[in-house]
């Protein structure tokens, strides 16, 4: 998802600061790299986006309702497309709007 969504968003929006909240339970994601290191590698080295200030904060999804909600929504969409199981996605359909923010302030 880093390559498909996050990096193109950063390039397109021309943002200079990004605060990303991730699940602290994320372990290695690719090539044995931890999530934060992998993201920085993709952003800074592969895509030459050196000017962006990238801040990654980790929360435990067991106690973060925001991360639980994001996980539920993304899993519902994934199951709908990849497993032809749209039971939960049906409840979300029509309520999902495009929002150019990647995180929400409370």
Distances (CA, A) of 18 to 32, 56, 73, 98, 101: 24, 8, 22, 19, 10
DSSP secondary structure letter of residue 48: -
33 phi, psi to nearest 5 deg? -90, 145
Q: What is the pLDDT of residue 30?
A: 76
DSSP-assigned beta bridge partners for residue 18:
54
| pTM confidence score | 0.68
Q: What is the pLDDT of residues 52-85, one digit of tens each?
A: 898 999 999 999 999 998 888 888 888 888 888 8
DSSP symbol at 37? H
> Domain map of the chain by residue range?
2-92
> Which H/E stretch holds residue 58?
strand 53-59
Q: What is the pLDDT of residues 3-32, one digit of tens each?
A: 777 788 888 887 888 888 888 887 778 778
The tokens for 83 are: 């497993």
């Amino acid at each position: 998802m880093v390559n498909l969504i996050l990096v193109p968003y950063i390039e397109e929006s021309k943002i200079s600061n990004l605060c990303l909240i991730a699940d602290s339970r994320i372990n290695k994601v690719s090539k044995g790299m931890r999530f934060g290191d992998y993201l920085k590698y993709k952003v800074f080295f592969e895509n030459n986006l050196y000017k962006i200030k990238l801040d990654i904060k980790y929360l435990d999804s067991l106690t973060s309702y925001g991360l639980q909600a994001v996980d539920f929504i993304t899993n519902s969409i994934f199951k709908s497309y990849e497993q032809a199981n749209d039971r939960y996605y049906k409840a979300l359909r029509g309520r999902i709007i495009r929002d150019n923010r990647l995180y929400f302030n409370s």
